[in-house]
């Protein structure tokens, strides 16, 4: 029963990413690659100075703006089938997704949304048996060093 619930949750997260990425293609600014420039010009969503001014200065370069905007779309599209990827690919995409949502939180101030999406990404990309392996690996790598008694 638990695996069924996880499966339904994974399907829902895949649907969220599918809708989020596909809906953006109907908006001119997302299609032409300038959406993030416009978002960062809006005082409601841009970070306060000096961080906001630095981001706006970087986004003045069209190639950077287009790369970041299309990178957002590409990441969201790649998360749709991500549950079916191999473990190393899922781990890489998980790192990118966490960094992406932390960037959203830091630049737009959407901390609660970003933390919820990071939790959803963890459930989407880490299998139940992998989570125990991950916990054991973290515990092993962070354990105190043993002092040998001479």
Q: Give dist(CA 87, CA 63) in Å, integer.
A: 32
What's the chain's average pLDDT?
88
The secondary structure of residue 147, as a DSSP letter, is P
The secondary structure of residue 32, as a DSSP letter, is T
pTM given for the model: 0.80
CA 7 to the chain's CA centroid: 20
pLDDT tens per residue, range 4-61: 988 999 999 999 999 999 999 999 999 999 999 999 888 888 887 788 888 888 989 9
pLDDT tens per residue, range 83-142: 999 999 999 999 999 999 999 998 888 999 999 999 999 999 998 777 666 556 655 666
| 3-state SS, residue 31 | helix
């Amino acid at each position: 029963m638990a695996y069924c619930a996880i499966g339904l949750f994974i399907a829902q997260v895949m649907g969220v990413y599918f809708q989020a990425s596909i809906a953006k293609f109907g908006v001119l600014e997302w299609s032409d690659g300038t959406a993030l420039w416009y978002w960062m010009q809006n005082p409601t969503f841009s970070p306060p100075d000096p961080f906001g001014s630095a981001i706006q200065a970087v986004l003045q370069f069209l190639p950077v703006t287009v790369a970041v905007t299309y990178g957002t779309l590409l990441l969201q599209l790649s998360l749709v089938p991500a549950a079916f990827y191999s473990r190393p690919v899922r781990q890489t995409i998980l790192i990118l997704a966490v960094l992406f949502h932390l960037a959203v939180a830091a630049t737009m101030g959407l901390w609660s949304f970003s933390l919820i999406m990071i939790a959803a990404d963890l459930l989407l990309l880490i299998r139940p048996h992998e989570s125990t392996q991950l916990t054991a690996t973290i515990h092993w790598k962070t354990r105190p060093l043993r002092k040998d008694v001479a």
